[in-house]
Structure 1
């Protein structure tokens, strides 16, 4: 069992915050203590640790939630803002597999700056009898990180399974599907990145580049896990639950080469390349598996569950995805963290049926995913919060001088191994760009 949490005191005050929230993250902060949850420039960034719990194994979610229940029950909170994300907030990320050697984490930052719908706040948290930081919370907003635009010199190395071997791994999965042992399996690979000079890799510049290029996604940082996920596992707010499912992908480069017509909503033009995605049996099957798994997990907790009959096409800078948004009214009383646990792992990151797909992943991938493809996000004192799936991301090593970046794809009977390798290369573009490993994008 985790040790008992400290007694926390938190206060949130309204402030005036303009510009980029990430510029307020001090450069000297330990990169593993930076937290972030940003979309289209709004959200939250913070640093420091007022309290933290690490869990592992099958009960990692339940142990973390029990810890959080005790923290929020014992805390003293002064919140003059009363918006989602103000008051006491914990950020978390969880290992994909209960057998992972990587611990899951739930952490309460000491300092948090938030902005939503034109309103902004600063939350400060102290433990026990610690004094409040000197000065008004708004004073820290006058500071700006002058080194935010400076990228660390990094070099890329082969991952656990070299790219040249990846098609063979996919082919083995396709053969396994052909036997009827599994309908779909999601396989992922990693790439190693290290600091050229052996120094600590800073995460604030990485987050800045992710936010600038992938603003429509959720840019996140928790305990050294950084990325920009397009997939909302679950959002719980005001008694409503929402989940965005992504499965089925086409590279934008392929789309651009396929047709000279300018981008238009899918289906508006007979030669629109996105029609390849919405008419692809392979991608539609992959998407249907993922939607069904999320709907089945939400039904025990929701009434009036709305499940779209057909997906839409979500545009990102590097790819198009098939997407579906599911919504429902909460009736079970579960927190957002408990919902995330119930939804993990969905078919979008594991496969169908789940136990068989998880076994194939463990057999064929050849690596420990760690917290890649696990839930990542935040939960507040009321139990509301946002939890995405940790995709398009990288995880710092304990020494903070190297990291692994990840990408994967859904494998079904019709999958082509070389096309699946190409898909992972495209998905790695987000982190390679953010780390400065690619030529500057257009």
Structure 2
């Protein structure tokens, strides 16, 4: 196999684009995708056992700054156009595929697109293997029996948690400040996030929490890209053969341990003026961003309540028909940042986030997902996640955020943020 070729945004002269040799073949057996992941250079996008996982890196783009999406789109277009592809299936996610994760903010920030050497995919009763190499090398077709299994993964040991940039009390005070500014008419909504540190006695094998969170939250999209792991309930955008869909979440209530009480909580969430207002801002921002790219966008009149093991969300599924030649990656760029993770108006909310959070979000709340050479793809919002410290794999940063509007109560928002940290905390085995 060839070594990975890392390309930076200042290395994008037309002649620098590598030529990839790609082959996709169908496998005659089912594969547990997450169980095959290697301990390093692994990428994943899986929901209910279906999706894609990547092994190794054939080529990677590292990019930063306000032009990160445009640079990535340009690079992917060149790479796709020059690749030699033999695809025996021809479905979304087969052939040449890249996994990506983008920084929330323009600066600071690190974003990446990764083309693996090997991609395993599954959809329905079809499973496939894609091998990718940089010319003049030829793809190496591995034996399925050579892949690792989940039984080889060790449980994290001695995990303890500590406050990140702000204590709970400090973050609640920041929420109160945001509510005051909203009341003064400076903005309508802002999403404030907080971080939590997890420190283990020994290096953490990311496959343990990733597998556990996938088992506990099967309705979410489980992902792993360059040390960022999580399971998001929110689909920023999916593009499949011209059909555009998006799932918007905004408005949250914590679940109890009683089913009957949860039904009452769900009904109160559906009637909550505070949560409905927050949700309306998020839906409107997505619909407005999709409109220039679609011939029509269907927006349901009212949201439904999405039930997850730890919380319930107000949710709306939007759908449209693509009217231009945008790829899934370009649509994700057009949608980011939505009001669901930023606020309204966007410029004012971004300034307030930078002022009140006292931390770098990194790739939290940025687009994460995949795109193929035909432009199909799925991009979620990087929520319910943790970032493994690249300098010390014993340490992780967990993130959670809440939408703040005029009626928000700081103590209630803090409780909501703590509930949103539960998936990754539990996945670490504590």
Q: TM range, normalised to the smaller chain? A: over 0.9
Aligned match of 1:350: 342
**Matching residue within 112, 117, 123 for 2:130:** 123
Distance 2:333 2:31 in 1: 35
**Matching residue within 222, 232, 241 for 1:238:** 241
Please give the per-residue CA displacement for 1:240-269, whole angstroms capped at 9, x wherever unaligned.
10010000000012xx56xx73766xxxxx
Deviates more, 1:169-178 or 1:201-210: 201-210
* Structure 1 stretches lacking a partner, 5+ long: 265-271
Shift in Å at residue 415 of structure 1? 0.4
Aligned match of 1:109: 116
Asked whether the 8 Å contact 1:167–1:421 carries over to 2, the reply is: yes
**Matching residue within 400, 404, 420 for 1:407:** 400
Please give the per-residue CA displacement for 1:366-420, whole angstroms capped at 9, x wherever unaligned.
1010000000000000011000000000112222412211001000010000000
Aligned match of 1:318: 310
Deviates more, 1:147-156 or 1:211-220: 147-156
Aligned match of 1:214: 217
Distance 1:210 1:71 in 2: 33
Aligned match of 2:193: 188
Distance 1:307 1:344 in 2: 19
Asked whether the 8 Å contact 2:98–2:116 carries over to 1, the reply is: yes
Aligned match of 1:383: 375
Distance 2:407 2:129 in 1: 51
* 1:154 and 2:135 matched: no
Aligned match of 1:417: 410
Please give the per-residue CA displacement for 1:316-344, whole angstroms capped at 9, x wherever unaligned.
00000000000000002111101000000
* 1:434 and 2:399 matched: no
Q: Secondary structure at the match of 1:146?
A: helix
Aligned match of 1:21: 33
Residues paired across the two proteins, number: 417
Normalising by the residue count of structure 2, what TM-score does the alignment of the two structures yield? 0.94
Aligned match of 1:171: 176
Shift in Å at residue 117 of structure 1? 1.1
Shift in Å at residue 8 of structure 1? 1.1
Cα distance, 1:263–1:155 mapped onto 2, change above 3 Å: closer
User: CA-atom RMSD, angstroms?
Assistant: 1.6
Query: 1:131-142 to 2 correspondence within 5 Å?
Result: 131-133=138-140, 136-140=141-145
Asked whether the 8 Å contact 1:92–1:107 carries over to 2, the reply is: yes
Asked whether the 8 Å contact 1:2–1:53 carries over to 2, the reply is: no
Aligned match of 2:24: 12
Asked whether the 8 Å contact 2:22–2:139 carries over to 1, the reply is: no
Distance 1:400 1:239 in 2: 43
Aligned match of 2:251: 248
Cα distance, 1:82–1:138 mapped onto 2, change above 3 Å: farther
Aligned match of 1:95: 103
Q: Secondary structure at the match of 1:360?
A: helix
Normalising by the residue count of structure 1, what TM-score does the alignment of the two structures yield? 0.91
Q: Secondary structure at the match of 1:346?
A: coil
Asked whether the 8 Å contact 1:36–1:45 carries over to 2, the reply is: yes
Q: Secondary structure at the match of 1:300?
A: helix
Aligned match of 1:267: none
Q: Secondary structure at the match of 1:84?
A: coil
Aligned match of 2:6: none
**Matching residue within 241, 266, 272 for 1:274:** 266
Shift in Å at residue 14 of structure 1? 0.6
**Matching residue within 45, 57, 63 for 2:53:** 45
Q: Secondary structure at the match of 1:261?
A: helix
Q: Secondary structure at the match of 2:265?
A: coil
**Matching residue within 352, 366, 379 for 1:374:** 366
